[in-house]
Structure 1
């Protein structure tokens, strides 16, 4: 498989944002990923899952959604209900 430079950069942002979330899990003394990194990683992962550029509206904060989709934590009943059925049925989406 050959990746374009843009695809490589996207994969890098997604991977390192997830790793950053892992590193700060359970701590309050260390800053987490930036809001821009979280938003970008969320958009990338949703695009990979749905296969389109039109992201569905999901009312779950970026960091929480990334953790849920990659099974770094289980969703609450409310969070699971906020996911489109197509996305919820495919959980988890292993990355990183």
Structure 2
């Protein structure tokens, strides 16, 4: 399975009819841990930044990627870039 599939499984997780809530909680927690390990995420800020990026349009994401040429931006920096992007679009 590729990374995108693991991310999708985590993002779309829902309780199955054949599992208890405890089993569901463990499964989602395990998926989260696995995603963090695969992506080599070290901070909460990286998770939040990824979530923001996943909510963007293709155009917004492309604009953000142009600003992240050297390094990834933290959520407050992403917010500033996206605010500028929206203002420029009018």
Task: Please classify the TM superposition score into its range, dividing by the shorter chain length.
Answer: 0.3 to 0.5
TM-score normalized by structure 1?
Answer: 0.32
Find the structure with the greater CA-based Rg: 2
